[in-house]
Amino acid sequence: MNEELISAKNKAEESDRLKSAFLANMSHEIRTPLNAILGFSSFLKSPEHPRERINEFVDIIHSSGHQLLSIINDIIEVSQIEAGHISVTIDDVNITKLLNELFILFNKDASAKNLELILNINRSADDIITRTDGTKIRQILSNLLSNAIKFTHEGKVEFAARVAKDNVIFYVKDTGIGIDPDDQKYIFEPFRQVETTITRNYSGNGLGLSICRALVEKLGGNISVNSIPGKGSTFTVTIPYESDEKEVKRDDRERPVLRKNSKYNWMNHIILIAEDEMNNYKFIKEMLSSTKVKILHARNGKEAVEMVKTHPEISLVIMDLKMPEMDGYKATEMIKEMRPKLPVIAQTATVYFNNDEVKKAGFDEYLSKPIEFNEFMEVIDGFLDN
Ligand code: ADP
């Protein structure tokens, strides 16, 4: 009994120590981009900087913001995982297409470090299509690819997927610094790796691989590493292969049809923006300013419903979810009762909003905050007639 108590006490102390080390490292990881944002934004007002310098500052502010966002996403993800709240959305996923997209995305980062990025797929073979959660696969592979590029200084990073019996096997292989055999058993555990000196030399919060492992296991698969220090590492992910030839139904088929159009001229349209935060409203208005669209503003769900009632000429609604008096869910329900065909696009700060929830709540589409300009314009354009 005494021994059990001592072991439990040691475990609790160990966990406490790891969490303190994690918080100290995290504080550094958060302060770094925040310093850049505060520092460089204060330069924007001073008149002596030429235009090129200002552009450079804006780029730094922008990329630091993204860095901060990815840290926040990781922290939220880990807390969701620890609370047992990961949900999966299973659909047909074209793995080949997904790998091609990742190649385009990561080729820039690899080239910037003079590394060769190789996507090893058989281009004459059929696409690999399996039923799984595409967002999670993308997240797992993105994490592995960004690690591979981060920890490799010369040579190449190669990735691929193949079907073997009942599994889809992915690998991400690099010619980087490798991982010590003693550390290999820890790297998939949260909080652990932040202690190692390796993590101190490279930026990172030490959460990526633990998130990968939790997501892979949720998909019914497993992840492993094979690595030789100084030579490189290969991460292998295996998930069940489930193909369903007949299955072509996609949930977005039931939504209003998206029409593509490249130039944005919406002068004949009125868009209602339901948003209580003034700065968010101004930001959306600014993004729309070049399109000549007319804009109405509602500061809560109740006002939004009233405006849809009194302005039948409204073509589209952009709906914040969290608002005073009446939230975006209730407002959308009432708007859809009045005008079922009026497109309502949710904008949400919740990372875990997924396609199923969108449909259930009656929205036609959703945009996650922070809203990305190109995606925003494409989504809206898809719902507006010219
Ligand atoms: P982070 O990269 O943010 O520190 P991860 O959980 O993604 O956190 O990785 C944990 C640790 O595993 C890293 O800090 C690094 O020491 C090691 N590691 C992960 N991927 C690689 C790789 N491709 N090559 C060498 N070391 C790696």
d(Cα 10, Cα 328) in Å, to the nearest integer? 48
| Better-scored residue on pLDDT, 323 or 361 | 323
> Above 60 in pLDDT, residue 55?
yes
User: β-strand 156-164 against 167-174: which pairing, if any?
Assistant: antiparallel
User: Got the DSSP string for 296-356?
Assistant: EEESSHHHHHHHHHH-TT--EEEEESS-SSS-HHHHHHHHHHH-TTS-EEEEE--TT--HH
Closest CA to 82 of 213, 199, 224, 183: 213
As given in the structure block, the two tokens for residue 43 are 């330069």
As given in the structure block, the two tokens for residue 278 are 């003034």
d(Cα 41, Cα 57) in Å, to the nearest integer? 7
Which whole number is the average pLDDT over 31-52?
86
What is the overall mean pLDDT for the chain?
A: 85
As given in the structure block, the two tokens for residue 186 are 């820890």
Closest CA to 99 of 77, 131, 128, 68: 128
Contact 92, 244 (CB under 8 A): yes
Closest CA to 351 of 27, 70, 13: 70
d(Cα 182, Cα 60) in Å, to the nearest integer? 37
232 lines ligand 1 (CB under 6 A): no
User: β-strand 156-164 against 316-320: which pairing, if any?
Assistant: unpaired
Closest CA to 94 of 144, 124, 137: 137
> Residue 124: exposed, middle, or buried by beta-carbon count in 10 A (0-12, 13-18, 19+)?
exposed
> Above 60 in pLDDT, residue 196?
no
Residue closest by Cα to atom 7 of ligand 1 = 208
307 lines ligand 1 (CB under 6 A): no
187 lines ligand 1 (CB under 6 A): yes
User: β-strand 232-240 against 222-228: which pairing, if any?
Assistant: antiparallel
Which whole number is the average pLDDT over 2-15?
85
Q: How far is the CA of 142 from the centre of ligand 1 (A)?
A: 13
148 lines ligand 1 (CB under 6 A): yes
Q: How far is the CA of 192 from the centre of ligand 1 (A)?
A: 11
Q: How far is the CA of 103 from the centre of ligand 1 (A)?
A: 20
Q: How far is the CA of 159 from the centre of ligand 1 (A)?
A: 17
Ordered strands of the 365-368 beta sheet: 294-298, 270-274, 316-320, 344-348, 365-368
pLDDT of the residue at 148 = 97
| Better-scored residue on pLDDT, 251 or 5 | 5
208 lines ligand 1 (CB under 6 A): yes
d(Cα 107, Cα 369) in Å, to the nearest integer? 26
Could you identify the atom of ligand 1 that is nearest to the CA of residue 176? 24
157 lines ligand 1 (CB under 6 A): no
Q: In the 8-state DSSP scheme, what is residue 257?
A: P
Contact 362, 344 (CB under 8 A): yes
Confidence of residue 192 (pLDDT cuts 50, 70, 90): low
pLDDT of the residue at 52 = 84
Q: In the 8-state DSSP scheme, what is residue 49?
A: S
> Residue 24: exposed, middle, or buried by beta-carbon count in 10 A (0-12, 13-18, 19+)?
exposed
Q: Which of 80-84, 170-174, 184-188 has the highest mean pLDDT?
A: 170-174
What are the distances in angstroms from CA 153 to CA 110, 112, 173, 177?
Answer: 10, 11, 14, 8
Confidence of residue 200 (pLDDT cuts 50, 70, 90): low
> Above 50 in pLDDT, residue 217?
yes
Q: How far is the CA of 303 from the centre of ligand 1 (A)?
A: 49
Could you identify the atom of ligand 1 that is nearest to the CA of residue 174? 23
pLDDT of the residue at 167 = 94
Could you identify the atom of ligand 1 that is nearest to the CA of residue 188? 6
| Better-scored residue on pLDDT, 332 or 183 | 332
Per the listing, tokens 């109405």 go with 296
110 lines ligand 1 (CB under 6 A): no
Per the listing, tokens 């959305």 go with 89
pLDDT tens across 301-327, in order?
999 999 999 999 999 999 998 888 998
User: Got the DSSP string for 90-157?
Assistant: -EEEEHHHHHHHHHHHHHHHHHHTT-EEEE---TTSPPPEEEE-HHHHHHHHHHHHHHHHHT-SSSEE
Q: Is cis: bond before 370, omega within 30 of 0?
A: yes
pLDDT of the residue at 233 = 96
184 lines ligand 1 (CB under 6 A): no
> Residue 334: exposed, middle, or buried by beta-carbon count in 10 A (0-12, 13-18, 19+)?
middle
234 lines ligand 1 (CB under 6 A): no
**Which of 22, 77, 209 should be mutated for ligand 1, with most atoms under 8 A from CB?**
209
Rounded to 10 degrees, the C-alpha dihedral 245/251/257/260 comes to -70
191 lines ligand 1 (CB under 6 A): no
